[in-house]
Chain A
């Protein structure tokens, strides 16, 4: 009888510990100080490459691993007209995002900077249209779209005519030159 209670209490303890790990936490509104700190990237002088803000690491790098943030990024990609130039990711007036080539660097910080500050040749700056967190979400999505291997967290296909494999199905169109 005692053994049974011991087993039961162990089980309950294990369950409550499990409750501590929030696998798919969905923060709908970030703390303002956190959101502010998210903008503190350290960029190289030429605007390519750099390190993300410390707070990003402390938060557990959510914008690349959480399917919630990636899906938010996908929505922002549509809502803010990225398709107008980049199409479904295969490019159009603007370069393709899924061919494995990155004119301004493949790392998340560079992509963040590209969206926030714009780039020469027509890429507009979005710093006044999106919050810091939204730019991170969008950057994360863009990076996943062009990833070289199928990611574990990615949005599924859209409910519309399919022009390319869904994000969770396909690695980037070609591997990078080495």
Chain B
């Protein structure tokens, strides 16, 4: 049988087996080192992203354990003040910039193209580039920490502590450029997701049929695009202040110290929702499979997502209540902080209604969803507490705040994420994770988490400040701290069990089949793990729950070429087919560009001239990347 594709051959006339062979020829990533470095397959890159992010989670967790060991008893001797400062900074930075944001975006890079029924993410080469940038940023931070150059200024690097006068040595510069690396990668992924969602949906998937996870990622990506530039501006101004003596944050020369806090939190507060909204989307995606009915109130859910996204930009100042604000400012930002509880509340009630009307199946992902409800609601309520200025003035920089944001971030994002890993693991690997071990993991994490972090509320009320490397016996914080530290070991055991189960199941887990949960969304319409081309024939969507409503046979479209990488571009609103668009092949240029950009950014930690001379290799790499190819594009 001749499998060589003819020029301009379409898929309509081909049989399934033959189509599979031909699509593989065009879409498969070549084996070997070249293929590994040049791949632009969104699934391969997302897998790397997810694994790397979990490695950073484990590293950050080790630091947390070291800190808990140090704080377990008064006058601890394990870490000195200097190492402790680095430890909490690298822990926070790593968890926020190297774990939480990238892992959420990585899940989207894997799932969004599958959920909207397309063959690859938009701008796949940019996707490859973004992974390399992220990887280098992580190596920079952790490498610096290992050689005692770790940032020691807290994850939000307030000036003047981080400024040229008090931020001694190169530690802060490393932090600032790590920000640049990770934000470049986050922005790149956000752009890809927006374009994928708006232009590459399967025909028929009009705006009201988009899965809620995809909606969540669309809103998140817009938040990323609007918020991340603020922190890049801030970190660049900081490094300019330090390296070439500008005065952005020097009040004596017309700069402003509070400018840093405004710029940082204008990013930093939406950042919370950048982490939280994908988790919300994951819950909305998982829940229907376990209660056997669609999510209650699709439109209120979407509006709540969009509303959260908009409101998230209006409350950054509540991180700055103790800086001395005008009364009107305090009132406004208190009100807006409390207002954002409304859309979150709407979602919670919609989920409760979904469960109420459904028939719950208590599998592991569902257990994580329940764990999310409990912890996140506590975190949300302490959030409303610290949104009130008088209380916040008392609790500012105390362990109460530490407890609050761990409840929000771990309860609101990590629990859903772990549930999501259990849920989509069969999609990633074709194998199930262990249900029995999973129950242990969920139970252990839930109990240990609450044991670890709930007492921190009390410690905060007892006056224990954040970021102290030790405390005296007379403070009477020893008992609670010891309890917290022991529980932290339990928590770590839960995570260890999770990692071991994931590693074991990836090789020896039970084979899953294509749709083990009986879910409704399109990512389950292809095999598990999906082939390199995702869908042999692009599905035709006729309802919000295509796999439930379509019956035995999912309707498909045809007409795409099989002799080159091609995908279908549809209209923004109704997802009507618009054009066939070619999709880029594997290329090494993203890697070269990432190496050149790395040289520039790393060099700029040491000398400003690196920006000048480093731009030459970057320009060469980008010219190579965007050199006009020979193939025609954009045929209708």
Contacts and interface: CB of A to CB of B under 8 A. Distances in A.
Contact of B245 (A22, A23, A157): A157
A68 B86 CA distance: 15
A15 B171 CA distance: 19
Interface in A128-178: 153, 155-162, 165-166, 168-169
Contacts of B163: 156, 159
B147 A156 contact: no
A21 interface: yes
Interface string B162-205: 01110111110000000000000000000000000000000000
Given A161-B253, A169-B245, A24 B81 contact: no
B252 A24 contact: no
B149 A23 contact: yes
A159 B248 CA distance: 10
Given A15-B146, A24-B149, A67-B170, A162 B253 contact: yes
Contacts of B164: 155-159, 166, 168
A166 B163 CA distance: 13
A169 B170 CA distance: 15
The secondary structure that dominates the A interface is loop
Contact of B171 (A19, A24, A156, A159): A24
Contacts, number: 71
The secondary structure that dominates the B interface is loop
B143 interface: yes
* Best-buried of A157, A160, A168 by chain B (most CB within 10 Å): A157
B111 to A, nearest CB: 28
A19 B147 contact: yes
Contacts of A161: 252-253
* Best-buried of B82, B147, B163, B171 by chain A (most CB within 10 Å): B147
B168 A68 contact: yes
| Size category, A interface | 20 to 34
Nearest to A166: B245
Nearest to A20: B147
B168 A18 contact: no
Contacts of B147: 18-19, 21-23
Contacts of B82: 26, 28
B80 interface: yes
A27 B509 CA distance: 51
Nearest to B242: A156
A25 B150 CA distance: 11
A169 B244 contact: yes
B252 to A, nearest CB: 4
Contacts of B160: 159
Interface of B: 80-82, 143, 146-149, 160, 163-165, 167-171, 241-242, 244-245, 247, 249-253
